[in-house]
């Protein structure tokens, strides 16, 4: 029987090096206790923040120092837990770290309200007295901008204290979906595809990580069985997940109202200073181009030679089979080579990172599903993956390395206060790497079949990133609107809402009752109004890559465009997202980058259709 390996069976070179953060858990405990004491020191400044320039500088420096250490303590605990989400010890460490982070936020919650007692002119006067305050210029500008939505110090402290509670539904969902839920095994009619060799059929366990990969298998009856078994398991958790999501939405709405916003969406987008019109423009542009997605779906139907495309057919590539194997080491080489247009320094730092165990590569029993880039200001980057030896996993590696390098370049150039960056710009860095990988592979790989699969992967990435994430964005916007208008968010209502959107987006395909439950399996919904930024990110990224490679991958890169892009990566959060993207030559206040991305999707779709015919 095919099974997921235990973590102890994974070679160390394919695991991340968390010992570089804390050599032992005892060392983590020492760091935890040290920063917990300094959290208390923050509170001594309450009521004194704006007394004079020296005091203001001292409290901001202490706050940054505390948050810097808290982030490392929390990241280590979370990553240890994610190695095996069933491990009770690391669940406990993560819970303690989350409580510490909430305590730190609570202890520092008086700072912004007290800063908002200043005018801009008064802060400028303080800078003249204490020039070291100048580094906080943009931060203070952002704090003053949020004054209409910042409550009194007492209320801010209460909201910070409640953050652990209001975010609990996401934690419940995470433990349910990754630790407690188990999916059935199905008979694999083609065990050779799983490396078992020829012979009798074998049972293969469905997991969160391999589900979509199994839906790329050529056996249609097998795909249908995997699809039905998977979603039937989610159906058994229907009321629990609906309750979790309903309360997550309620928390978003009530928190937004507590901060004087009309809607949860307005509150979420105002944090990074992104106008809601950007969200609406994305949805409108995608709806104006649904014909391209419908064409893609119909081509899949033709490629499969079926009368009607079913939801279990949706992940099948247009090339008609599972695609070539791409082992991790080969994928890493392809990715590094593809980054050459960004310059030798960028490329070499990625190569060194891969050699230094940035990446936790393979799936193991209990491991957090999916992929992410982590790390803090004081650590190397860390990437969690569940690598599946395929082209999709290779693209995920490129994607997460984009995030990691964004963090590295920001740390090189910015102080801690600007070392983070909004998701709105983060998804640009990741998707630029994907687009560069596509261009490189189409230019350099000789195998025409491999090229077809690369082209197909590009199309699937745009479909799943631009169209799918916009569908998700519509769903969560509507779910929050219903809550704001007092309509109960029952499981049936959420199914109805999601199923209706699926019918609009995939008009040529059969939309069944099971796919209407797909909202249940999307963890990003517990971080409201997050997913639309994947769609805006890929739009900006494709525009940047077109500028960096004006003559395609075979031509000479535009060094100025590449340098502008690297400058954008180095800025962290020193400016607002739309202003940062203008450094890289992209105007996301208009539909132009989205329209360019959708036009490229249509052109690539026609290109692959011609190759296949």
Task: Kindly state whether residue 453 falls inside one of the protein's structural domains.
Answer: yes
Nearest to 608 by CA among 469, 470, 442: 442
pLDDT of residue 151: 84
- Do 428 and 519 share a domain, yes or no? yes
State pLDDT tens for residues 66-86.
999 999 999 999 999 999 999
Q: How far is CA 442 from CA 237, 324, 453, 457, 463, in A?
A: 43, 15, 10, 11, 19
State pLDDT tens for residues 527-581.
999 999 999 999 999 999 999 999 887 889 999 999 999 999 999 999 999 999 9
Task: Kindly state whether residue 182 falls inside one of the protein's structural domains.
Answer: no
- Do 49 and 144 share a domain, yes or no? yes
- Do 271 and 152 share a domain, yes or no? no
Residues of the chain with pLDDT under 70: 1-2, 191-201, 321-322
Nearest to 19 by CA among 385, 382, 355: 382
- Do 122 and 254 share a domain, yes or no? no
Task: Kindly state whether residue 607 falls inside one of the protein's structural domains.
Answer: yes
| pTM of the predicted protein model | 0.85
- Do 396 and 539 share a domain, yes or no? yes
157, 363, 400, 483: the active-site residue: 400
- Do 510 and 411 share a domain, yes or no? yes
pLDDT of residue 201: 67
Task: Kindly state whether residue 131 falls inside one of the protein's structural domains.
Answer: yes
State pLDDT tens for residues 450-495.
989 999 999 998 999 999 999 999 999 999 999 999 999 999 999 9
Task: Kindly state whether residue 180 falls inside one of the protein's structural domains.
Answer: no
Pairing of strands 382-387, 359-362: parallel
Cβ neighbours of residue 301 closer than 8 Å, sequence gap 6 or more: 307, 308, 309, 313, 508, 509
- Do 154 and 260 share a domain, yes or no? no
Last residue of a domain, one of 166, 190, 212: 166
- Do 16 and 115 share a domain, yes or no? yes
- Do 421 and 570 share a domain, yes or no? yes
CATH number for the domain that contains residue 78:
1.20.140.70
State pLDDT tens for residues 259-277.
999 999 999 999 999 999 9
Task: Kindly state whether residue 340 falls inside one of the protein's structural domains.
Answer: no
pLDDT of residue 155: 83
Identify whether 266 is a catalytic site residue: no
Q: How far is CA 463 from CA 151, 302, 468, in A?
A: 41, 18, 6
Which domain covers residue 114, as residue numbers?
7-166
DSSP summary character for residue 361: E
Task: Kindly state whether residue 454 falls inside one of the protein's structural domains.
Answer: yes
Using an 8 Å Cβ cutoff, are 476 and 252 in contact? Answer: no
Last residue of a domain, one of 166, 191, 208: 166
Rounded to the nearest integer, the mean pLDDT of the chain is 93
Last residue of a domain, one of 116, 149, 166: 166
pLDDT of residue 308: 96
DSSP summary character for residue 136: G
Cβ neighbours of residue 575 closer than 8 Å, sequence gap 6 or more: 138, 583
pLDDT of residue 195: 46
CATH number for the domain that contains residue 296:
1.10.1370.20
Question: How buried is residue 437: exposed, middle or buried, by Cβ count under 10 Å (0-12/13-18/19+)?
Answer: buried
- Do 475 and 591 share a domain, yes or no? yes
- Do 429 and 287 share a domain, yes or no? yes
- Do 452 and 580 share a domain, yes or no? yes
For residues 435 and 540, what is the distance between their CA atoms, to the nearest angstrom?
A: 11
Task: Kindly state whether residue 336 falls inside one of the protein's structural domains.
Answer: no
pLDDT of residue 165: 80
State pLDDT tens for residues 233-256.
999 999 999 999 999 999 999 999
Total structural domains in the chain? 2
């Amino acid at each position: 029987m095919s099974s997921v390996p235990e973590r102890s069976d994974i070679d160390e070179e394919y695991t991340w090096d968390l010992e570089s953060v804390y050599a032992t858990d005892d060392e983590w405990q020492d760091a935890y206790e040290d920063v917990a004491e300094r959290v208390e020191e923050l509170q001594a400044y309450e009521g004194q923040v704006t007394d004079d320039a020296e005091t203001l500088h001292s409290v901001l420096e202490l706050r940054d120092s505390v948050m810097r250490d808290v982030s490392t303590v929390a990241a280590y605990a979370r990553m240890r837990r994610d190695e095996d989400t069933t491990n009770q010890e690391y669940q406990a460490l993560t819970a303690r770290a989350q409580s510490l982070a909430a305590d730190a936020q609570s202890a520092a919650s008086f700072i912004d309200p007290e800063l908002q007692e200043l005018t801009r002119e008064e802060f400028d006067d303080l800078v003249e007295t204490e020039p070291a305050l100048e580094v906080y210029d943009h931060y203070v500008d952002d704090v003053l901008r949020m004054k209409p939505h910042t409550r009194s110090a007492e209320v801010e402290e209460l909201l910070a204290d409640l953050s652990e509670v209001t975010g609990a539904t996401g934690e419940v969902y995470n433990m349910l979906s990754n630790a407690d839920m188990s999916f059935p095994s199905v008979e694999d009619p083609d065990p050779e595809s799983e490396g078992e060799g020829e012979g009798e059929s074998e049972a293969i366990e469905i997991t969160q990580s391999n589900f979509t990969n199994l839906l790329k298998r050529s056996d249609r009856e097998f795909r249908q069985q995997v699809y039905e078994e998977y979603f039937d398991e989610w159906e058994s958790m229907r009321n629990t997940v609906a309750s979790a999501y309903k309360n997550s939405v309620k928390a978003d709405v009530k928190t937004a109202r507590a901060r004087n916003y009309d809607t949860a969406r307005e509150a979420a987008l105002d944090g990074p200073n992104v106008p809601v019109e950007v969200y609406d423009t994305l949805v409108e542009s995608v709806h104006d181009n649904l014909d391209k997605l419908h064409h893609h779906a119909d081509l899949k139907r033709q490629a499969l030679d079926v009368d009607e495309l079913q939801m279990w057919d949706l992940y099948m590539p247009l090339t008609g089979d599972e695609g070539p194997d791409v082992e991790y080491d080969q994928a890493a080489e392809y990715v590094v080579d593809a980054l050459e247009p960004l310059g030798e320094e960028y490329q070499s730092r990625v190569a060194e990172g891969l050699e230094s165990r940035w990446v936790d590569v393979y799936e193991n029993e209990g491991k957090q599903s999916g992929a992410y880039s982590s790390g803090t200001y004081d650590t190397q980057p860390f990437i969690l993956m569940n690598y599946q030896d395929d082209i999709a996993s290779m693209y995920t590696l490129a994607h997460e390395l984009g995030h990691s390098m964004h963090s590295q370049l920001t740390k090189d150039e910015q102080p801690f206060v600007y070392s983070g960056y909004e998701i709105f710009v983060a998804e640009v860095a990741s998707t630029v790497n994907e687009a560069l990988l596509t261009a490189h592979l189409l230019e350099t790989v000789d195998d025409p079949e491999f090229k077809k699969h690369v082209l197909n992967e590009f199309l699937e990435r745009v479909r799943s990133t631009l169209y799918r994430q916009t569908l998700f964005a519509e769903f969560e916007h509507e779910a929050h609107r219903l809550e704001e208008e007092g309509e109960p968010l029952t499981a049936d209502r959420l199914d109805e809402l999601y199923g209706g959107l699926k019918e609009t987006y995939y008009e040529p395909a059969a939309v069944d009752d099971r796919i209407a439950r797909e909202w249940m399996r999307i963890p990003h919904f517990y971080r409201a109004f997050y997913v639309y930024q994947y769609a805006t990110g890929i739009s900006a990224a494709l525009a940047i890559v077109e500028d960096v490679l004006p003559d395609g991958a075979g031509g000479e890169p535009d060094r100025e465009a590449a340098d502008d892009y690297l400058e954008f990566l180095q800025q962290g959060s020193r400016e607002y997202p739309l202003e940062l993207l203008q450094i890289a030559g992209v105007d996301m206040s208009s539909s132009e980058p989205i329209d360019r991305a959708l036009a490229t999707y249509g052109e690539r779709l026609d290109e692959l259709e011609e190759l296949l015919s």
